[in-house]
Structure formats: structure tokens, C-alpha cells
Structure 1
């Protein structure tokens, strides 16, 4: 018998796919070099690149290493926090509109929290800087979260 596709499982898969596909270094560089940030499509593609991650820094400075670590950890924490939020709350939701809103809001909260926590890794962190970074993370969740929501809306009861 096949396992049911639960809200949690689908949310984790959708979030991991967003991070892997749109946050990788080649895609991020392509978006920044080939799209117009003043067009709706260019702006949206730049939003999708927010949880960027890379295999190594462009230069060997400690500042670049701290930023690389923060970015990579932020991408991993985003997936982890979505899994935790959905794992705790999803038992009451079996998909449909509830699954949509739960998946969407999970990405908003998870991206804000991941951004807030990892902002303290960079050089000279401040609380205000952490709040600003969290605001950027929640914007990612707001504008990309509907993708996770659409996937979790298709979930079946466990």
C-alpha cells in the first residue's frame, strides 16, 4: 500500500525544491546578470533566489566565508523550520484550503526565523540588522509561499 502524501511531506519536498532549484549559485548569478529588477518577472525571480546557497566563496576573505556560512545555514534552516512547523500543526489539516494556507504561512514564518537567526553569523551583527533580514525573509515567504501552499493543498489524510 502506498503512503499517503501528507501536508508535512509535501511541504518539505516543495520547500527543498524551491531552495535547490532557485537558490543555487548558477541560477542566482544568471538571474542577477540577465533579468531586469524593474520588471515584474525579474523582480519575482530575484525573490525566488533569496535562500541562496553555494559550494564556496568567490574570494577567501573571512567576511565572505561568514556570509557563505550564513547563506548556506539559512537555506538549511528554512527547510528544517518548515518541516517543524508543518509537523506540529499539520495533523489538523488534510489538504485543501487549510493545507494551502498552512503551507504558505509555514514558509513565511520559517524564512523569517531562519533569516533572523543566521543574521548573527555575519560580521558586526546588530539586532536591527537581524530584524531587517527577517523582514526580507518574510517577504520571500509571502511571495514564494503560495507555491508551497499549492503543493500542500493537494495532500491527502495520513
Structure 2
């Protein structure tokens, strides 16, 4: 049984949710990689807008191995994994044709952007609550950092959503 009643595309273009999910995967895989994170830390100026943005893109960092054996690789990567899973979920749950009174590219862009903001904030909160032993205030502050990442990087997902059908 299908979860959605969306028509299959025959024109070669995927759905807006599919293209947005692919963009999120590429964004987290490339900008969260240890190589990009290291490059951003050493080659960008955190006091400039461009440097701040390039460092922000590295926020859902992931690793192949963990320096802390008590946490393990899954604990360090949980935030990036949850951001991807929730982004895909929210992109599929918020079809622009049902949200917008006037369907079009603006609503498609904004719903993709909003889905990524929500995914980054919620993914961060869940990851912090599952892996952190700190106070609830620290979890809320970390969630704010995730929402900030989603807000400033989410336009990339919104633009990618324009490449697919609603």
C-alpha cells in the first residue's frame, strides 16, 4: 500500500520531496565530512560573513571513527543521521500543493526550506536528549544552534525542491 497518492513522474524529474532529500543528503555528506570540517576550520575567517556561513555548513559533522570510545561512532553521527531522516520525512509530509492556496514555485521553495529548518531543530533536540547527560537547558540551546543551521542552510534545500514536481 502506498503511503502517498502522488503520481509517478515520467518526464525524468523527481518529486520536490525527492530532490530536496537528495540535496540534504549531499549537503550533509559533503559539508559534514571530516575533510570539509577541517578545511573550514583552518581556511575561513569566523569573523567574516562568508567564513561564518562556510563554518555553519559544517555543523552536522560526522566521523568514520570516534575519539571517545564511550560514545561510539553512532552517538557522534546521530545528529547528522536524524537531520537527514527528519528532512526526508518532513519533505514528504508537507506537499506544497496541499499547503499553498496558490501552488507555485514560491510555496515549493518555502516548504522545502521550512522542512529543513524543522528537521535540523528537531533532529538536534532528539540527538541531544538521547546522547547527552546534561541539563535540559543545554539541550534547548543546542536545538537553537540546529535551527540556526536549518534556517541558513535550508534555502539550499528549498532551491533543490524547485527542481521536482510537487
Taking structure 1 as the reference length, the TM-score comes to 0.88
Distance across 1 between alignment mates of 2:84 and 2:68: 27
Residues 10-42 of structure 1 show CA distances to partners (whole Å, capped at 9, x for unaligned) of 110010010001000111011112211001111
What's 1:46 paired with? 55
Residues 33-89 of structure 1 show CA distances to partners (whole Å, capped at 9, x for unaligned) of 2211001111001110011001002x3442xx35x5333111111111111111111
Contact 1:96/1:154, CA 8 A, preserved across alignment: no
Distance across 1 between alignment mates of 2:63 and 2:155: 25
What's 2:91 paired with? 86
Counting only pairs closer than 5 Å after superposition, residues 12-91 of structure 1 correspond to structure 2 as: 12-57=21-66, 59-62=67-70, 65=71, 68-90=73-95
Number of aligned residue pairs: give it. 153
Give RMSD over aligned pairs: 1.8
Task: For residue 127 of structure 1, report the CA deviation from its aligned partner.
Answer: 1.1
Distance across 1 between alignment mates of 2:158 and 2:61: 21
Contact 1:107/1:145, CA 8 A, preserved across alignment: yes
The structure with more helix, counted as a fraction of residues: 1
Q: Secondary structure at the match of 2:129?
A: coil
Contact 1:116/1:131, CA 8 A, preserved across alignment: yes
Distance across 1 between alignment mates of 2:116 and 2:40: 22
Taking structure 2 as the reference length, the TM-score comes to 0.84
Contact 2:122/2:143, CA 8 A, preserved across alignment: yes
Distance across 1 between alignment mates of 2:96 and 2:53: 32
Distance across 2 between alignment mates of 1:82 and 1:128: 24
2:145 counterpart of 1:112? no
Distance across 2 between alignment mates of 1:73 and 1:95: 34
